[in-house]
Structure 1
Amino acid sequence: MKKNIYIMYVIALLQGMVFYGPIATLYRQAVGISIFQITLIESISLVIMISLEIPLGHIADRIGYRRTMIGCCCLYFISKIVFWKADSFGDFLFERILLGIVLAGLSGVDVSILYLSCTHGDSQRVFGIYNNLCQIGLLLAAGIYAVFIGDNYRTAGLLTVVSYGISACLAFGLKEVTKEKSNGISMKVSLGILKQVFSNKRLILVVLSVALLNETHQTITVFLNQLKYIKVGMSPSMISIVYIIITISGLLGGFSSKITDKIGDKNLGLLVFFSGSIACILLAFTKYAIIAVLGVLILRIGFSILQPLQMKIQNEEITTRDRATALSMNAVIMDIIAIFTNVVFGKIAAVNLQASMVFGFILCIVGFVLYHYSWQAFNYNK
């Protein structure tokens, strides 16, 4: 099954090549989309994801992960075409609706393909490489953007279309990893898996805590950071260079497994949540560009290091053969939290950017407490 892993690695690299990444917010604002509209679109997309997570997880378990991966990669490709041509709120909303369907379909599928294709005990390393290759894709795209594209936003959109088109073609080379299929979509099956998920209180606390960090990282490092950079006097070219640096820092996620071996799963998680809270405070109160960049850097590094660990924990806790469905249920919990945080972040940022960073601090602190009690209450130790 090593072929699957290598194909997934290349797909991660190509899907990481979002050439408009350095100016994602500015791209939308150039056609009149406000920051609140951007976060509103994100929340609508998340509603779509939540409504489809479990049904598409069932379908993936029934038809196989390979077919699901192919279908989602093709729809991903179409969504990038829509984004490239988008010039109104409705266009960007449609693109995000398609993205919501794609992410709901992929939820748990790409991870399951990797987990079932690698040898026992090697999953955290494989997940780390997978996440890193996505970061390398972002880095390559940012470098090309900085050198060749500049202010030509539409060219960045077109190159992203090409990258996702190639990744869709590669998905056809995957081999199926499931030996037996689910019996189909069943309310009884769903309730049974749901009961298993919620009976694992430690896992629920981990999922909740990670969701808070994920959304703080996503909102600040993708959308609000650009507003902060401009506020502290950074030029578009400087923002592009910083984007490359931040992307490179994400590669440190590849050391997640080694760091875990040194300090343990619990300490690693607590360190990430604590550093995330410090980063938000720095971003809230600094007037200096270097400190703003440092804050975003800390958030990105912490997120990148925690991702392989939380992916490993989720997969190791699954006891049902309907792996994609179980992972989708975890994702639903995260999505529900994301809807709330996106709207709040957008509302607060529209009034006061500093206050939105303080909100991120609060989320990280709550995440720290939840992650701590997930270990304290159930005495779980790898």
Structure 2
Amino acid sequence: MNAKRNIKVLYGISFFFSFIPAYVIERLFWEMRGMSVLDVVLTEIIFGAVMLLMEVPSGVLADRIGRKPLIITGVLFEGIMFAILIFADSFWQFALAIAFAAAGAAFLSGAENALLYDSLAALNKEERFDWHLGRLQAVRMVSLFIAAMSGSFLALYMPLEINYWLSLISTFIAFILTFLLRDTVHLVDDVTYSMSGQVTQAISFFKREPALVYVLFLGITVGLAAGFVEEFWQLYLVDAGIGLSFFGLYYGVILVVQIPGALAAHALRKRFRRKSLLTVVILTGVSALIFSAFQVNWLGAAAIIFFLLAAGMTEPLILGALHEKADNRIRATLESFQSLVFNAVLIIAGTGFGYIATQFTLAKGFMFLAVFSVVPLLVKMLRQLNDE
């Protein structure tokens, strides 16, 4: 009974946790409060650094004390972030808010998906894990779409702060829902399986699975590129001469187009290898991103939509691959390791992107992201040539 309820509650949490009207005017609000592109990138780096520090410890905790306490804390920290942002007017206040967001993301990382997998396993339905991942992503996109439409409308007639207050309220509802969750598996025994043992086992796991590591890196690079595009599309539209009245519609579209890929990932991975699917995603998406860098207009804005359409299936594919092979005793720890690497690469990519976007143009920054996305493919190709 707890397992079935967990799945339903996780869908509810996903909806309210994603119902954030602030996102549609985020860059405009930050810019209004004095935050430049470089300042924003610096906060992204702070986000990545905090995640690096907390990722693995939070994953280990989720495997030891339970998924639920980590999920509760993660959602709470996200709410604190919005409470700070409402009144923030300096770089360090924004940085503090982002630090709370990073800590919250670290606590949620691994714990949410581990609880989903545990609940499905309790129902003997673990093979449907990536099916639910895709639908949870679709729920998040629909929620973000509704928030974007309403947030864009509110921004035309109300102070931008109203969007942040509504986001705080929605996060609080998600926080209340977290108390309905229940852990469904026996936790790691403190005596027989130490914390250092969990970390050692996680490292050994990845050493034994080089093919999985490659798939994860494919997902990481395209995921990073998609993340930066989603962060800065508002400034891109400004450069393209597209008015604020179109922002809500455009944001809604870039959310909705990610749903087909998320829903199709489960069916496609039964017919094709995950590595092949991710390679297609990268090549088609990167082509669209390069086009957007050369055509900073409505056509370039459309190309960004196509890029995010291709990237939509990334998360179900890579997390499905990881959890299929994961050991229950270190399930959350393994996903935390994956997230740790993601944020380590984020710092590298963010530094390059921020420098180029600030010193040159945002479009050239997008070009950098396109090149960065194909790095794993190029490394793989060079290794194959050397082996021959």
Q: Give the Cα–Cα distance (whole angstroms) in 2 for the partners of residues 189 and 365 of structure 1.
A: 32
Alignment check: 8 A CA contact 1:270 1:372 kept: no
- Residues 32/256 of structure 1: CA separation in 2 closer, same or farther (3 Å cut): same
Q: Give the Cα–Cα distance (whole angstroms) in 1 for the partners of residues 219 and 311 of structure 2.
A: 9
Among 276, 287, 305, which residue is 2:313 paired with? 305
The residue type paired with residue 245 of structure 1 is: V
- 1:238-249 matches, within 5 Å, as 238-249=246-257
Deviation at 1:230, TM superposition (A): 1.1
Which string of whole-angstrom CA distances, capped at 9 and with x for unpartnered residues, describes residues 164-210 of structure 1?
00000000000112223342763343223222223321122222221
Establish whether residue 339 from structure 1 lines up as the match of residue 347 from structure 2.
yes
Deviation at 1:6, TM superposition (A): 0.8
Deviation at 1:369, TM superposition (A): 4.2
Equivalent in the alignment of 1:251: 259
The residue type paired with residue 168 of structure 2 is: V
- Residues 320/2 of structure 1: CA separation in 2 closer, same or farther (3 Å cut): closer
The DSSP-based 3-state class of the residue aligned with 2:97 is helix
Establish whether residue 356 from structure 1 lines up as the match of residue 356 from structure 2.
no
Instruction: Give TM-score, length-normalised by structure 1.
Output: 0.93
What are structure 2's unaligned runs of at least 5 residues?
A: none
Alignment check: 8 A CA contact 2:6 2:119 kept: yes
Equivalent in the alignment of 2:70: 68
Equivalent in the alignment of 1:215: 224
- 1:50-89 matches, within 5 Å, as 50-89=52-91
The DSSP-based 3-state class of the residue aligned with 1:32 is coil
Alignment check: 8 A CA contact 1:202 1:375 kept: no
Deviation at 1:74, TM superposition (A): 1.7
Among 276, 286, 294, which residue is 2:302 paired with? 294
Q: Give the Cα–Cα distance (whole angstroms) in 1 for the partners of residues 273 and 202 of structure 2.
A: 29
Deviation at 1:133, TM superposition (A): 0.8
The residue type paired with residue 106 of structure 1 is: L
Q: Give the Cα–Cα distance (whole angstroms) in 2 for the partners of residues 371 and 172 of structure 1.
A: 45
The DSSP-based 3-state class of the residue aligned with 2:312 is helix
Alignment check: 8 A CA contact 1:266 1:372 kept: no
The residue type paired with residue 337 of structure 1 is: V
Moved more, 147-156 or 103-112: 147-156
Equivalent in the alignment of 1:227: 235
Deviation at 1:370, TM superposition (A): 5.8
Equivalent in the alignment of 2:180: 173
Q: Give the Cα–Cα distance (whole angstroms) in 2 for the partners of residues 286 and 185 of structure 1.
A: 55
- Residues 2/320 of structure 1: CA separation in 2 closer, same or farther (3 Å cut): closer
Equivalent in the alignment of 1:323: 331
Moved more, 147-156 or 119-128: 147-156
Alignment check: 8 A CA contact 1:84 1:161 kept: no
What are structure 1's unaligned runs of at least 5 residues?
A: 377-382
Among 117, 141, 144, which residue is 1:138 paired with? 144
Equivalent in the alignment of 2:43: 41
Establish whether residue 125 from structure 1 lines up as the match of residue 131 from structure 2.
yes
Moved more, 266-275 or 124-133: 266-275
- 1:88-107 matches, within 5 Å, as 88-107=90-109
Instruction: Give TM-score, length-normalised by structure 2.
Output: 0.91
- 1:22-41 matches, within 5 Å, as 22-41=24-43
Moved more, 13-22 or 360-369: 360-369
Q: Give the Cα–Cα distance (whole angstroms) in 2 for the partners of residues 164 and 372 of structure 1.
A: 44
- Residues 274/85 of structure 1: CA separation in 2 closer, same or farther (3 Å cut): same
Which string of whole-angstrom CA distances, capped at 9 and with x for unpartnered residues, describes residues 81-102 of structure 1?
1122222211110011001111
The residue type paired with residue 297 of structure 1 is: I
Alignment check: 8 A CA contact 1:206 1:371 kept: no
Among 274, 291, 315, which residue is 1:282 paired with? 291
Which string of whole-angstrom CA distances, capped at 9 and with x for unpartnered residues, describes residues 138-158 of structure 1?
011011112333262100000
Alpha-carbon RMSD:
2.1
The residue type paired with residue 153 of structure 1 is: L
The residue type paired with residue 341 of structure 1 is: A
Equivalent in the alignment of 1:380: none
Which string of whole-angstrom CA distances, capped at 9 and with x for unpartnered residues, describes residues 264-306 of structure 1?
42332111011121121111100321x2222221222222212
Equivalent in the alignment of 1:379: none
- How many residue pairs were aligned? 375
Q: Give the Cα–Cα distance (whole angstroms) in 2 for the partners of residues 129 and 63 of structure 1.
A: 28
Equivalent in the alignment of 1:260: 269
Equivalent in the alignment of 2:171: 164
The DSSP-based 3-state class of the residue aligned with 1:122 is helix
Identity %: 21
Equivalent in the alignment of 1:202: 211
The residue type paired with residue 237 of structure 1 is: S
Alignment check: 8 A CA contact 2:19 2:147 kept: yes
Which string of whole-angstrom CA distances, capped at 9 and with x for unpartnered residues, describes residues 12-46 of structure 1?
11111111111211110001111001010110111
- Residues 375/141 of structure 1: CA separation in 2 closer, same or farther (3 Å cut): farther
The DSSP-based 3-state class of the residue aligned with 1:84 is helix
Alignment check: 8 A CA contact 2:25 2:155 kept: no
- Residues 370/308 of structure 1: CA separation in 2 closer, same or farther (3 Å cut): farther
The residue type paired with residue 292 of structure 1 is: G
Q: Give the Cα–Cα distance (whole angstroms) in 2 for the partners of residues 190 and 221 of structure 1.
A: 33
Moved more, 60-69 or 160-169: 60-69
Q: Give the Cα–Cα distance (whole angstroms) in 2 for the partners of residues 302 and 182 of structure 1.
A: 42
Q: Give the Cα–Cα distance (whole angstroms) in 1 for the partners of residues 118 and 357 of structure 2.
A: 42
Equivalent in the alignment of 2:118: 116
